[in-house]
Amino acid sequence: MNCSKADAALPGNRCMRLTGGDFLRLAQFIYDACGIRMPPSKKSMLESRLQKRLRALGMDSFSQYCAYLFSPEGQKHEVIGMIDLVTTNKTDFFREPDHFAYLTEHLLPEWVRRHPDGTRPFRVWSAGCSTGEEPYTLAMVLQDFADRCPGFDFRIMATDISTRVLEAGRQAVYREERTATVPLPFKKKFLLRSKDRNEGLVRIIPGLRNKVQFRWLNFTGTDFGIHETFDVIFCRNVIIYFDRATQETLLERFRSYLAVNGHLFLGHSETLSGYNLPLKAVYPTVYRNIR
């Protein structure tokens, strides 16, 4: 961030720089709070994102912000807002589409063969769900399958550490251009356009919204509060933000929540290579629980 003296003098446009010492304090706090690494290369990013909080709070320096954040009042009122800003929430509908093709063409038919009586729903966890594009993509794919397979039912749990993105997911309202990757038959079937076409907004139909439960979850917490197993867990492009020790702990916890023969989906830049886990690769970045 480059600011001139003139910029610094402008009201509401203060030039606030993050010192090395304050960066280290914040980086350690973020790691302790949610396991996300903040190497020195992320200093400019952190500075830029936290500018919004300083302005909103009327503060003139990061040192003042740190003093507030680490105070009892700040620990009570500021931590969630700060975490909301520093977490990365890139997502798209039908991102890495081959995963959804593998799910519908291979895993779902196999699951139905193993559960012909339909005594329980197919359970999915979207871990790191961001603003809802991934769980709603899953809901579209699963509902389309259900429409062709009488007796099949499903439930989706969607979790994230950011309260801001969880609320966006619950609202399920998106700019129309965000749905460009949704196949046309699914658009007609699952999306509602705004009455005012000039708004350019769409909303997921109520039937799909009711299939997705959004809840807050910190991956570094000691108790996830989850008391069921899942047939599929999607945790894609999430573990890359954690160090190896945190990754290993998290992956083992995911495995413990997988049903026998359940599947874990990772992002295409992620791998289980080097981890001693009872998960067998069955497709690129898709792993089956063999225990």
Give me the DSSP letters along 146-197: HHHSTT--EEEEEEES-HHHHHHHHHTEEEGGGGTTS-HHHHHHHEEE-SSG
Bridge partners (DSSP) of residue 254 are none
Concerning whether 243 is annotated as a catalytic residue, the answer is no
Concerning whether 32 is annotated as a catalytic residue, the answer is no
* Terminal CA-CA length for the chain: 51
Closest CA to 78 of 23, 86, 157, 220: 86
Q: Which of 22, 53, 84, 160 is catalytic?
A: 160
Question: Around Cβ 244, how many Cβ atoms within 10 Å?
Answer: 10
Q: Which of 25, 49, 95, 170 is catalytic?
A: 49
SS3 97: coil
Closest CA to 22 of 52, 46, 58: 46
Give the orientation angle of helix 79-86 with respect to helix 163-171, to 10 degrees: 70
State the pairing for strand pair 230-234/201-204: unpaired
Burial letters 42-54, b for 16+ CB under 10 A, else e = bbeebbeebbebb
Which CA distances in Å does 215 have to 87, 97, 110, 173, 221? 16, 25, 29, 18, 14
- The secondary structure of residue 104, as a DSSP letter, is I
Closest CA to 129 of 257, 217, 35: 217
Active site residues: 49, 160
